Structure 1
Amino acid sequence: MGYTSRLSGEITINPPIPWGELQGSPFVRTPDNDEWDRLTWLRLVEDTVETDDGTLIRKQAIAIRPSEADELRVHGLDRDVQAIIDAHLGHTFEGLMLVRGEESPDIWRVSVQDGCAVEERPRIVWPDGTEETVS
């Protein structure tokens, strides 16, 4: 079975990625791939848009979301997020994904800084001012 973690949070995309850039993307969840195939997926929204040609449905990706699969093994989360960023240059990615492991105090996150997915580890500061790094 192995050590598992839970993911939360999301990374927003500005401007949203239009459907034309997403067709056939390995980052879009479809019935042909399972939720646990990736650690992250693009979160899609559909809007109804009135145009001169009638009512259209516009699909676009507005965020990178964590997988909703149970019992995730999240090593490489930063690489997973970076792959999406690299595939969609010209967009700004902001936010973070928080990782909570099975054992305390296993907590860390991946954020986006200047277009790069970065793994960040917290520090514990005791009341007397001494510190410990969570690894």
Structure 2
Amino acid sequence: MTKYSFRLYLSRIVLVLYIISVILLCFLNLGPGTDMSAEWFGIPKDKIAHFLMFFPYPALVTLVFARSGWKAPRFTGFLLLVLVSGIIAGGAIELLQGLSSYRSCDIRDFRADCLGLFSGALLTILVWTIVRYRDKKPENGRQ
């Protein structure tokens, strides 16, 4: 197994585990012992949780599906599709939570999901740009 294929398999496993974790966190009944109404620095804890659940999504999907030789327009289009899929998933989760007896549909949760997605996408673009620049830079100052 080559280094590339090992990294690809590992990133696929991490993405699957991530998706399972998000689904479980969004739909499990956490019981009365979990207090998500408190705030951290004036921000409700449940909104921070929603932000953090969706923040890694763009980077993980990019690791699994993006290719290193892509030019900027193709990568940008890919990342837009990733954002749209994340927004649809976040909206669907909120709507499905509204159908349960122990969860609620909250537009502020959806906004936190989207903010996490956009922040994760910005970080993904930054890392992708740095890696592309580094890969194009000649080694040891030689052209």
Larger helix percent: 2
Q: TM-score, normalised by structure 2?
A: 0.26
Larger strand percent: 1
Q: TM-score, normalised by structure 1?
A: 0.27
